[in-house]
Structure formats: structure tokens, C-alpha cells
């Protein structure tokens, strides 16, 4: 059983520009005088009063205009941002596909990178070695796997990253736009592999600007607006309302 | 997969020092659980540093051997002391100092350079700090090979007492953990501290008996050895190995530094361990 529960979660970003970041102003700000006026910290309210609860079987799409807080929400769910206030609990092995190359090292060979990336995703070295043959096979990189990754083309690199990242079976998947990679033929196979992974996972959270993807994958849609949840419901309920709001 | 090892997490609000202390301790444990990640972060950095060089990691040993030999020769001329007196002392002390100074120097930018990991999956702050400690401890072990060879070549007699150096190194590393943590967090928030720390480290180097012996100090200046935590930390690693006596108060002080320091800074870690991601 995987679950995600957020109650009254808010996230505030302090803006530390060159001024408030420097020690000088922190120190002299305390001494009073004119400088103190610049010292006021500026906060961006990225999320506020978010109440969400997801269980097994939830396929959640997140929509909203740029800057509505989609990425921030995904990062809160991935455990990257600890909420400024509110409480949150997450149960289940969680995988975040926001950077599928995380942990890969250009100086190391493809084979080594398979192990590195798997371990970064939370597997043990032994588990990674067990998965390695199937990843090698899916990547179709053959002898190139014995070369340092820095010699790869960017397409080959993404192909490897994709093959590794989709080889594990997490309970919760968090994704910012669909991931893909490689040439046309690989993309076809990649899509099939990803779709089947997304079907098996217990909870999926996906932020996307593509209505088709959302309609085909998600059974719940959250509409974020200025850091608040404006509407939550099925795709048919939420998406037209979202479009209407920005049409006029 | 961010929390495969910690499959259940709850985030709530705490406002007490003890509550933050517990959170800080949890982060230290969390980081230890992510030891595989620490290992990969540390070794990736070593690979980058020596990538495509013929001698690779041997350079670590080689460069410190060159450095020690040069200083040893110059110093024994300068102080009119036989190399047997000064060379092992400087060599071992220098390596212990390098361990401390490179851990602290690297932790000033450790969080900033790992922002990619922080922003894309749950990474405990201590895992990054451990990676710095781990890498430098590994380098320290390699670095110690040459000083030990020098000691043997110059006829230093090792007794069972020398084993206390290992205890000394453990206490030094525990002290470095909380120091590195504090420095890393402060430097992520206040970027000026990066520069301040590197200047302070240079000054401390001259105030600490590494290139000179505390016996040479006039009594009225003894205070810079007696109240210098770095003098204590270096002494407990170097002196047992060379058969020099270590005062009991140094052992007590180093235990206080290691465990007292850790205890005092735990609430600080707890308070800021997850805030750093907002500052990167």
C-alpha cells in the first residue's frame, strides 16, 4: 500500500539575492540605519494550503500555467523541498524522473554507469548487477557499453539513461513531462516500456502540458493556480474549466 | 528512487531544540543509510580529478611525498636539526592537517556543487558531508604511506602506544563531521563565508604546531597550543605514532570536541538540513 497525504502544505522561497546573501548586510543590518531597509527578506509563495491525498491506483495529472507551482509540488512530493508549513506523509518506494541522468558519470563506461544510476535510484550494488543484463539488452548499445560515456552522442546517452531509469519498479513515480530518448525506432520501444511501467506503478504523479497524454494516462487531474489547488477531479471535469479560464 | 531506503517519511513541525536535535540525528543516520551514494559521489570525484592521467590516483601519494621531502630538507637545514628529528614530525603532522583542512575547504562548496542531486531527489545533507569525509579519509590513508616509510627508514621505533594514533584519527574525523556540516550549511546560506573560511584555515595552519614544535614556544605563548583545538587534533594523531607523549588533557579535550561538538550542533543540523535546498 502506497500513499501520499498532504495537509495544509505551503512552500515559501526566500529570495537571497547578492544583497541579503552577503554576510555584510546581515551584520550591518543588525546595526540599524539605512541598510536595514534592504534587508527585508522577500518570499515567493510557491504553494499554499495544499490538501491532497493519493492512494494505490491514482494516476494524477498536474496542470497549470507556467509558474503555477507544478514543479514545486512535484519536488515537495519527491521529498526535495520540505514544506515550510503543514504536514506530509509518504509511504512507498518513490522514484522521481525529473532528471533521469542523475548519478551518471561521463568518465565511467556505460556498464559502470548502469550500476551507478541504479544505486542512485536506491538499489543495492547486487540488485543493480542483477538488473544490468536486461538494461544492456534494452539499450541496444552493444559494444559501446564498454566505452566511457563521454564518447557517446547525446542520443545514445539519453537512451542509456532511459533504459536504466525505467528498469526499476517503484511504488510511486513522479514525472515532469514524459521522458523519452533516442531515435524514432527506439522512441517507439521506449514508449511501450514506459507505458507498461506507468501502468504497473501504484501511484503516478505527472505534470504535463499535453492534453492527450494526460487524458490517456491520468484518472485524476489537479489544476494548480498561483500555488493553490483550484480544482481537482477527472480529466473531463477539470481540463475544460482550465482551458476556459485562460481562453477569455 | 529517492526514498527506497526510507520508505515512510513524515514531515511535521518541531520548534524545540531537542526536537531539532532529534531531526539532526535522523539526518546523520539517513546519510549513513545512503552509504552507497556517498561511495559513488566520492569515487566519481576522484575519477574526475585523475581522469586520463597516466599515474591516476598514485598522484595523491606522489605529490605529498614531493611536498614532504622538500619541506623536510629545507626545515632540517633551517633549524639545524637532523632530518630524523624533524622529518617524521612534519610529515605525519602535515598529513593530519591536510585531512582537516581539505575536509573543511571542500565542505564550503560541497552543497552548492551537489545542488543537482538535491533538486532532483531526496538526498540527505549528511550524505554529501560524508562523501567529503570519506574521500579525504581515503586520501589520508594513501598519504600516510610515505610518512610511514620515512619513519621506518629513519629508524623510528613503533610501540603498541603508536596504535593510539588510530583512536586519535577517529576522534579527529568525528570532529570533522560536525565542523564540515556547520561550514557547509553556513556557506550555502552566506557565500562570503567560503572566502572567510579559507583565510582562517591559512592562519590556523601557522598557529598550529605542524611545521614547528610546541616545545620551541616561550611559556607565555603556550596559550596558542593549549587552547587551539586543531593543535589538540593534530597532536592525538601524530604524537602517539612517533612515540611523543600526549597529555591526558588533550585526550579529554578531543573527546569533548568530538562528542560535545556533535551534540551541540545537532539541533542546528535538524533546523537547517532541509532548508539548504532552498538556498542552492
The DSSP secondary structure of chain A, one letter per residue, reads --EEEEEEEEEEEEE--HHHHSHHHHHHHHT-STHHHHH--EEEEEEEEEEEEEETT-EEEEE-STTSSHHHHHHHHTTSSPPSEEEEEEES-EEE-S-TTTT--TTSBHHHHHHHHHHHTT--HHHHHHHHHHHHHHHT-GGGGGSBGGGS-HHHHHHHHHHHHTTS--SEEEEES----SSHHHHHHHHHHHHHHHHHSSEEEEE-S-HHHHHHH-SEEEEEETTEEEEEE-HHHHHHHHHHHHH-
CB of A127 within 8 Å of any CB in chain B? no
Domain identity same for A154 and A116: yes
Q: Three-class SS of residue B8?
A: strand
- Domain with residue A223: its CATH number is 3.40.50.300
Domain range summary for chain B, segments of one domain joined by +: 18-44+55-279
Maximum Cα–Cα distance across chain A: 67
CB of A107 within 8 Å of any CB in chain B? yes
The set of long-range contacts for B146-150, using a CB threshold of 8 Å and a minimum separation of 24, is B146/B61, B146/B64, B146/B65, B146/B68, B146/B91, B147/B68, B147/B88, B147/B91, B147/B92, B147/B94, B147/B95, B150/B68, B150/B72, B150/B87, B150/B88, B150/B91
**Does the interface ipTM go beyond 0.85?**
no
Domain identity same for A190 and A225: no
Whether residue B189 and residue A21 make contact (CB cut-off 8 A), yes or no, is yes
Whether residue A80 and residue B51 make contact (CB cut-off 8 A), yes or no, is no
Domain identity same for A145 and A71: no
Domain identity same for A164 and A240: no
What is the domain count for chain A? 2
User: Which residue from B1, B7, B119 is facing A91, i.e. has the nearest CB?
Assistant: B7
Domain identity same for A44 and A117: no
**pLDDT tens, residue by residue, A167-202:** 998 999 999 888 877 788 888 899 899 989 998 999
Domain identity same for A48 and A81: yes
A101 within domain boundaries: no
A104 within domain boundaries: no
CB of A236 within 8 Å of any CB in chain B? no
User: What's the CA gap between A54 and A179, in Å, rounded?
Assistant: 23
How far CA A134 is from CA of A38, A111, A114, B261, B265, in Å, comes to 57, 12, 11, 48, 46
Chain A residues within an 8 Å CB radius of B8 = 89-91
Domain identity same for A141 and A87: no
Strand partners for B255: none
Measure in Å the smallest separation between the Cα of A3 and chain B Cα atoms.
10
Measured at the CA of B237, the angle between CA B232 and CA B242, to 5 degrees, comes to 115
Contact status, residue B271 vs residue B186, Cβ threshold 8 Å:
no
Contact status, residue A120 vs residue B38, Cβ threshold 8 Å:
no
Domain identity same for A71 and A119: no
A99 within domain boundaries: no
A23 within domain boundaries: yes
A103 within domain boundaries: no
A15 within domain boundaries: yes
CB of A79 within 8 Å of any CB in chain B? yes
**pLDDT tens, residue by residue, B216-275:** 888 888 888 888 999 999 999 999 999 999 999 999 999 999 999 999 999 999 888 888
Q: In chain A, which residue's Cα lies nearest the Cα of B33?
A: A122
Measure in Å the smallest separation between the Cα of A100 and chain B Cα atoms.
9
Q: Three-class SS of residue B1?
A: coil
Whether residue B40 and residue A116 make contact (CB cut-off 8 A), yes or no, is yes
CB of A177 within 8 Å of any CB in chain B? no
Measured at the CA of A123, the angle between CA A119 and CA A126, to 5 degrees, comes to 95
Output the nine-digit C-alpha cell for A87.
504536514
Chain B residues within an 8 Å CB radius of A151 = none
CB of B275 within 8 Å of any CB in chain A? yes
Contact status, residue A16 vs residue A50, Cβ threshold 8 Å:
no
Contact status, residue A113 vs residue A121, Cβ threshold 8 Å:
no
Domain identity same for A188 and A114: yes
Substitution target in A8, A13, A80, A175 with the highest count of B β-carbons within 10 Å is A80
Output the nine-digit C-alpha cell for A141.
548499445
CB atoms within 10 A of CB A111: 16
Whether residue B278 and residue A78 make contact (CB cut-off 8 A), yes or no, is no
Domain identity same for A54 and A131: no
Is the Cα dihedral A186, A192, A193, A195 positive or negative? positive
Whether residue A93 and residue B4 make contact (CB cut-off 8 A), yes or no, is yes
Domain identity same for A63 and A11: yes
A51 within domain boundaries: yes
The more confident residue out of A23 and A19 is A23
Domain identity same for A156 and A133: yes
Measured at the CA of B44, the angle between CA B38 and CA B47, to 5 degrees, comes to 145
pTM of the model: 0.87
Whether residue B36 and residue A102 make contact (CB cut-off 8 A), yes or no, is no
Measure in Å the smallest separation between the Cα of B128 and chain A Cα atoms.
13
A233 within domain boundaries: yes
Q: Which domain range does residue A83 map to? A: 3-92+208-247
The DSSP secondary structure of B9-67, one letter per residue, reads EEE----SHHHHHHHHHHHHHHHHHTHHHHHHHHHHHHHHHHTT-SSTTHHHHHHHHHH
One digit per residue, the tens of pLDDT, for chain B of length 280 reads: 344 333 455 566 667 888 888 889 988 998 999 899 999 999 888 888 887 788 877 888 888 899 888 988 888 888 888 888 888 999 999 999 999 999 999 999 999 998 888 888 888 899 999 999 999 999 999 999 999 999 999 888 888 999 999 999 999 999 999 999 999 999 998 989 999 999 999 999 999 999 888 888 888 888 888 889 999 999 999 999 999 999 999 999 999 999 999 999 999 998 888 888 888 8
**pLDDT tens, residue by residue, A48-90:** 889 999 999 999 999 988 888 899 999 999 988 888 888 888 8
Q: At A45, give phi and psi (nearest 5°).
A: -85, 95
Measure in Å the smallest separation between the Cα of A199 and chain B Cα atoms.
17
Q: What is the CA radius of gyration of chain B?
A: 20
Residue B101 has what pLDDT? 96
Chain A residues within an 8 Å CB radius of B274 = 81-82
Q: What is the CA radius of gyration of chain A?
A: 21
Amino acid at each position: 500500500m502506497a500513499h501520499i497525504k498532504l495537509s495544509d502544505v505551503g512552500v515559501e522561497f526566500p529570495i537571497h539575492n547578492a544583497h541579503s546573501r552577503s554576510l555584510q548586510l546581515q551584520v550591518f543590518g543588525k546595526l540599524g540605519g539605512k541598510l536595514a531597509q534592504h534587508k527585508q527578506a522577500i518570499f515567493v509563495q510557491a504553494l499554499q494550503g495544499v490538501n491532497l491525498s493519493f492512494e494505490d491506483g491514482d494516476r494524477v495529472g498536474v496542470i497549470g500555467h507556467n509558474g503555477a507551482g507544478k514543479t514545486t509540488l512535484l519536488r515537495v512530493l519527491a521529498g526535495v523541498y520540505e514544506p515550510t508549513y503543514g504536514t506530509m506523509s509518504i509511504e512507498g518506494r518513490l522514484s522521481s524522473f525529473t532528471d533521469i541522468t542523475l548519478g551518471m558519470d561521463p568518465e565511467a563506461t556505460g556498464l559502470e554507469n548502469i550500476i551507478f544510476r541504479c544505486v542512485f535510484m536506491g538499489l543495492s550494488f547486487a540488485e543493480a548487477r542483477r538488473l544490468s543484463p536486461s538494461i544492456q539488452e534494452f539499450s541496444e548499445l552493444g559494444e559501446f557499453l564498454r566505452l566511457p560515456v563521454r564518447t557517446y552522442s547525446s542520443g545514445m546517452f539519453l537512451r542509456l539513461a532511459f533504459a536504466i531509469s525505467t528498469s526499476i519498479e517503484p511504488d510511486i513515480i513522479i514525472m515532469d513531462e514524459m521522458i523519452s530518448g533516442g531515435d524514432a525506432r527506439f522512441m517507439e520501444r521506449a514508449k511501450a516500456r514506459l507505458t507498461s511501467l506507468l501502468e504497473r506503478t501504484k501511484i503516478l504523479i505527472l505534470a504535463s502540458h499535453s492534453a492527450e497524454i494526460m487524458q490517456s494516462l491520468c484518472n485524476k487531474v489537479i489544476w494548480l493556480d498561483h500555488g493553490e489547488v483550484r480544482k481537482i477531479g477527472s480529466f473531463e471535469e477539470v481540463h475544460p474549466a482550465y482551458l476556459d479560464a485562460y481562453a477569455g | 528512487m529517492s526514498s527506497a531506503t526510507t520508505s515512510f517519511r513524515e514531515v511535521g513541525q518541531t520548534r524545540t531544540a531537542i526536537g531539532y536535535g532529534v531531526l539532526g540525528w535522523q539526518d546523520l543516520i539517513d546519510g549513513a543509510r545512503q552509504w552507497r551514494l556517498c561511495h559513488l559521489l566520492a569515487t566519481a570525484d576522484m575519477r574526475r580529478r585523475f581522469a586520463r592521467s597516466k599515474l591516476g590516483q598514485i598522484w595523491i601519494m606522489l605529490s605529498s611525498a614531493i611536498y614532504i621531502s622538500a619541506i623536510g630538507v629545507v626545515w632540517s637545514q633551517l633549524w639545524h636539526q637532523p632530518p630524523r628529528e624533524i622529518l617524521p614530525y612534519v610529515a605525519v603532522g602535515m598529513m593530519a592537517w591536510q585531512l582537516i583542512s581539505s575536509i573543511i575547504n571542500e565542505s564550503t562548496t560541497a552543497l552548492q556543487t551537489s545542488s543537482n542531486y538535491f533538486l532532483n531527489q531526496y538526498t540527505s545533507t549528511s550524505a554529501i558531508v560524508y562523501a567529503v569525509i570519506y574521500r579525504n579519509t581515503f586520501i589520508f590513508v594513501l598519504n600516510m604511506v610515505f610518512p610511514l616509510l620515512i619513519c621506518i627508514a629513519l629508524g623510528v621505533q613503533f610501540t603498541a602506544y603508536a596504535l593510539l594514533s588510530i583512536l586519535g584519527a577517529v576522534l579527529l574525523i568525528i570532529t570533522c563531521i560536525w565542523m564540515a556540516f556547520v561550514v557547509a550549511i553556513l556557506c550555502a546560506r552566506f557565500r562570503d563565508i567560503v572566502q572567510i573560511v579559507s583565510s582562517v584555515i591559512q592562519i590556523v595552519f601557522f598557529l598550529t604546531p605542524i611545521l614547528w614544535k610546541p616545545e620551541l614556544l616561550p611559556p607565555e605563548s603556550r596559550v596558542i597550543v593549549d587552547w587551539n583545538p586543531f593543535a589538540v587534533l593534530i597532536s592525538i594523531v601524530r604524537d602517539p605514532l612517533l612515540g611523543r607523549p600526549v597529555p591526558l588533557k588533550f585526550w579529554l579535550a578531543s573527546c569533548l570536541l568530538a562528542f560535545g561538538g556533535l551534540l551541540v550542533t545537532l539541533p542546528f543540523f535538524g533546523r537547517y538540513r532541509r532548508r539548504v535546498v532552498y538556498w542552492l
